[in-house]
Amino acid sequence: MSGIVIAAPSSHSGKTVVTLGLLRHLAREGLDPRPAKAGPDYIDPQFLAAAAGHPCVNLDLFALGADRIKAEGAGLRAGGLAVVEGVMGLFDGANGEDGSTADLAQALGWPVVLVADAGAQGASAAALVGGFHRHRRGLPLGGVIFNRVGGEKHARLLREAMARALPELPVLGAIPRDRALGLPERHLGLVQASEHAALEAFLDRAAEVVARHVDVPALLALASRVERARESPAASPPIPPLGQRIAVARDVAFAFTYELTLKGWRDAGAELSFFSPLADQAPRPEADAVYLPGGYPELHAGEIAAASRFLDGLRAHADAGRTVFGECGGYMVLGEGLVDADGVRHSMAGLLPVETSFAERKLHLGYRRARLLDDAPFAPAGTLFRGHEFHYATTLREGPGEPLFAAVDAGGHDVGAAGLRAGGVRGSFIHLIAAE
């Protein structure tokens, strides 16, 4: 099949809503689209999966590398039309432009459609698009969709300006302003898809807007120009399986998992089971590893603290020497206590000597290269992982204890030790994406 990348000059240009509307429209038309998200993101993929009716994978060029990206892209295209939503601005990457949406599009060989916010511009919008068009040679920029257009007169002005300045670059759509197409947000981005009370109605509305104001046949024709490259499937999972039978926490407090990680574990022969800490479910006793992903435990700290079956089950696994692994929110739950935004302390599992707080927030953001400092059941000491941090928690106390990783940022600058380990229990604020 074919593939296309939806990008924008900057965040908040409207590319998420355009991508959601396109995916839902294509799904309603029976074209079976396959969604993907550029870069490290947990929230957008939930919406993209809901719109398309298929799981959404993250294509993070910085963390996964070009070979794996090409293999995953080939897999997406084999299933149906692949639609990738970009991240931030088109040329924004981990360290300058490294791993940007533009880099991803070139690695895949897929055309880019630029979603430009024209809400406060007239003919100047053509200059903005022209700058992006000429910034990098070889970038397959195939067209532009103007968003937040004021009406027919405004749309005509934009099209005429583009025809004069960039006749080779088609205007594929002009989407009018629509406050109903806004998505609610919180400190880490959008509210999760499962928390959106009217998600289906929202997606259907977005699809109708795209069908009415975007030249979808022209966009599909653009996507169909993708040439088939020689690609081979990835030989190993991005992250080695934590065990043979892995119990994965999954609910609105523990929702930050990467589809490629779970798929990789299954493909490697691991058996996955899921449980909800918020429903006071314990991990299955027969599991030899427990995975607590990130999410929003700070919003549900009281419920987690009161979930005795969950906490006792978690402690039983730790006492038996089995692997227990927590990332970000999961790491905080493995700690001794969590202070919520109102300053109320809640006791957590007490398996690692760490205490965290949201009463005083501080943003921690960026890619990480993390070197494992001990031999773990899933990887030997010295294994290098690529991942990212994105949280607002403040560490009140960490340790004494053995650190889990030695970490550097995307530029190679030392950011010190990360996380803790105690017996079979390990955790850190780093979300792992792939082993190097």
Task: Go through the domains of the chain in sequence order and give each one's CATH number.
Answer: 3-223 (3.40.50.300), 245-435 (3.40.50.880)
> What number of other Cβ atoms are within 10 A of residue 18's Cβ?
25
Q: What is the pLDDT of residues 236-277, one digit of tens each?
A: 899 999 999 999 999 999 999 999 999 999 999 999 999 999
Could you tell me which residues come within 8 angstroms of residue 74 by beta carbon, excluding any fewer than 6 positions away? 229, 231, 233
Whether residue 81 is predicted with pLDDT greater than 70 in this model: the reply is yes
Residue percentage of the chain with pLDDT more than 90: 84
Indicate the pLDDT class of residue 428, thresholds 50, 70 and 90. Answer: very high
Q: Mean pLDDT throughout 22-32?
A: 96
How far apart are alpha carbons 392 and 10 in whole angstroms?
23
Q: What is the pLDDT of residues 384-404, one digit of tens each?
A: 999 999 988 999 999 899 999
Tell me which of 4-13, 92-101, 168-177, 372-381 is least confident. 92-101
Using alpha carbons, select from 405, 427, 428, 400 the residue that is nearest to residue 417: 405
Whether residue 196 is predicted with pLDDT greater than 80 in this model: the reply is no
Whether residue 232 is predicted with pLDDT greater than 60 in this model: the reply is no
pTM here is: 0.92
Indicate the pLDDT class of residue 29, thresholds 50, 70 and 90. Answer: very high
Average pLDDT of the chain to the nearest whole number: 93
What is residue 128's predicted lDDT score, i.e. its pLDDT? 97
Contact (CB, 8 A) for 57 and 76: yes
How far apart are alpha carbons 214 and 94 in whole angstroms?
31
How far apart are alpha carbons 86 and 39 in whole angstroms?
8
Using alpha carbons, select from 394, 419, 426 the residue that is nearest to residue 405: 419
Whether residue 228 is predicted with pLDDT greater than 80 in this model: the reply is no
What is residue 234's predicted lDDT score, i.e. its pLDDT? 52
Q: What is the pLDDT of residues 113-131, one digit of tens each?
A: 999 999 999 999 999 999 9
Residue 88 structure tokens: 């931030």
What is residue 186's predicted lDDT score, i.e. its pLDDT? 53
What is residue 66's predicted lDDT score, i.e. its pLDDT? 92
Which residues participate in catalysis according to the annotation?
Answer: 328
